[in-house]
A and B are shown apart, each in its own frame.
Chain A
């Protein structure tokens, strides 16, 4: 039972992370964070792909 709860908990966290990082558009995330624009110093594609550019 404990194993099942832990496994399902991990799945719920992973699902929430995927929704936040992959599915939600950046504009929605900025509104939710209460920011008007991307933080200064973020060049290239920023967080879009994690390519580091």
Chain B
């Protein structure tokens, strides 16, 4: 066979091989969750994706291109993690169907790269034995090999290769270790690629399963020598971090410190951004003559987008902590600690991963719920995911906290503003658990399935990975500010400016605009919860994305001619404390994100669930705002 099998048609090997040459051979990465497939995919393709420490991060199909030392271009597929081809959840079904060539519209892979966590070979060996039955050429990438060596594990690579009948390449994906060797091995295996799709795998019966288990144990004993002095650090740390009491105290302390840092570290950068936009507004105001364009730039774009962008430092600090903890291996421990609480609320232990993802955005969280195989458990998770505090709520929370909660220290060390933020996050979590509890009893009765999860070893976070992920978050936020937020601000400005006031009008121009009319129309509904008509105007564009409400408030007040400095200061002069607290309560529950509802429809394949979600969340938001407003008023707020 010619060396050009992977990058040029070679008809002598059959039609499929010829096809694979023409389209670039397809190499699929298959392995257990948390074995470092995504990190290996990044190292092979240079593609920048999220690398996390908790299991099941790879939910969607990802493809990239790598070039081998022999100059071949190969297409790399990153498949969802699985423990077996006997798939139990939708993401595992994707892996099974792609590997077996059954996935609609997806060509079968030409070569399998089995990715194994070198520190934990027991489970992956059974998967590899199943994959061997598929009949495709395969290579074993023994990932996290450095950690295995450090732990004192001795792996006989030659024996392992002989036992499995496939080459074994040690890799350290996060540091790109062994990547060249792996690509060379792909080069060497190229001549063996034949017509794909000859899958000989079948669902094993109980006796076959037992035999596979015995075979995996035999290979493990023959090839892996456990360390003479076992790793005690992981045990010692877990003794504290997984302890029901001490572990919970540490978890609360970690979250508490995180929110304290969000409010104390971000202040200088936020002040600088605020001053920058103030100066930019001043330049526009002095350079342009009075008119619509000046109003659009100064009141619409600079006031609106600037009032959202000022929260970038806080969002980045929050994500810095989350990514750091993921890389360290702590998030899986947090999942373990939370399992008892979530089980009490009727949520499956695996729901922790989607719910954790929802702290960034409910959409990846809802999609990550595919890792839950039981339909009832999956739907319960999807329905409460938007209650977790997504990053789009941060600008809303920080705006109100900065304006209404004094910058003071309590108990001698804690920032009051950080405490309130902590409380809002806790409210989101508590309400998600409460709603799940009620829904499980009303809609989906039945026992929650048991949760089995492997805890990753502790690792020192990789600075490059942490910075790359924080940088990605910054890019995402800036892209939103430059696209959807900017566009919505232009529309809010238009609605707040047109039509202009009639001749002889005495009130502010915005009162006569479309936004003013709409706001006044909504006022009777909003008055009982303490909202004025300006808030009503801001809630509507906030349907596109929650943080747009902050920019819309900035624009509405700027067009009203009430721009007297920072938006938070302006609001503290315009709103009562009761209104501000009711606004916060509204946003703990508010279902204002059209994209989330669209994804719920897609994931549940029904309009019923997004409609139920919208109705229950808006009812909760109204009720919470009503209760908070009247309680605060009763206390003189």
Contacts and interface: CB of A to CB of B under 8 A. Distances in A.
B364 A51 contact: yes
A14 B490 contact: yes
Interface residues of B, number: 48
A15 B363 contact: no
B544 A51 contact: no
Nearest to B593: A49
Contact of A14 (B391, B491, B593, B594): B491
Interface in A27-53: 37, 40-45, 48-53
B198 interface: no
Contacts of B364: 44-45, 49, 51, 53
A13 to B, nearest CB: 8
Contacts of A43: 49, 60-62
A42 B63 CA distance: 8
Contacts of A37: 105
A4 B296 CA distance: 10
B269 to A, nearest CB: 21
B195 interface: no
Contacts of A4: 291-293
Given A6-B293, A21-B484, A48-B599, A53 B490 contact: no
Given A3-B293, A51-B361, A14 B487 contact: yes
Contact of A50 (B295, B479, B594): B479
Contacts of B391: 51
A13 B484 CA distance: 12
A45 B292 contact: no
Contacts of A15: 487, 491
Contact of B486 (A3, A14, A40): A14
A3 B291 contact: yes
B483 A21 contact: yes
Contacts of A3: 288-289, 291-294
Contacts of A21: 483-484, 487
Contact of B487 (A2, A18, A48, A51): A18
Contacts of B488: 14, 18
B484 A41 contact: no
A21 B292 CA distance: 26
B484 A22 contact: yes
A35 to B, nearest CB: 13
Contact of B490 (A11, A42, A49, A52): A11
Given A3-B292, A45-B363, A48-B598, A53 B483 contact: no
B494 interface: yes
Interface stretch (B414-422, B470-478, B549-557): B470-478
B560 interface: no
Given A51-B364, A53-B357, A22 B480 contact: no
B544 A53 contact: no
A17 B472 CA distance: 24
Contact size class for A? 20 to 34
B75 to A, nearest CB: 9
B599 A10 contact: no
Given A18-B491, A21-B484, A22-B594, A51 B363 contact: yes
Nearest to A2: B293
B570 interface: no
B360 interface: yes
Nearest to B60: A43
B161 interface: no
Nearest to B47: A41
Contact of B360 (A6, A14, A41, A53): A53
Given A11-B491, A11-B494, A45-B361, A51 B476 contact: yes
Interface in B260-295: 288-289, 291-295
A18 B544 contact: yes
Interface string B50-64: 100000000111111
B487 A53 contact: no
Contacts of B490: 10-11, 14
Contacts of A48: 363, 595, 598-599
B367 interface: yes
Contacts of A44: 59-60, 364, 367
B295 A7 contact: yes
A17 B487 contact: yes
A52 B487 CA distance: 19
B514 to A, nearest CB: 12
Contacts of B64: 41
Interface string B574-617: 00000000000000000001111011000000000000000000
A6 B493 CA distance: 14
Contacts of B491: 11, 14-15, 18
A52 B357 contact: no
A21 B360 CA distance: 21
A48 B364 CA distance: 9
Nearest to B599: A48
Contacts of B544: 18, 22
Interface in B354-378: 357, 360-361, 363-364, 367
A37 B61 CA distance: 13
Contacts of B599: 45, 48-49
Most buried by A among B288, B291, B293: B293
Given A18-B544, A49-B595, A52-B473, 14 more contacts: A3-B292, A7-B295, A11-B493, A14-B488, A14-B494, A40-B63, A41-B63, A43-B49, A44-B364, A44-B367, A48-B598, A49-B593, A50-B479, A51-B391
Which 4 pairs show the lowest CB-CB distances between chains A and B? A3-B291, A51-B361, A3-B293, A14-B490
17 contacts: A7-B296, A11-B490, A14-B486, A15-B491, A17-B487, A18-B484, A25-B598, A41-B47, A44-B60, A44-B364, A45-B363, A45-B364, A49-B599, A50-B483, A52-B50, A53-B363, A53-B364
Interface of A: 2-4, 6-8, 10-11, 14-15, 17-18, 21-23, 25, 37, 40-45, 48-53
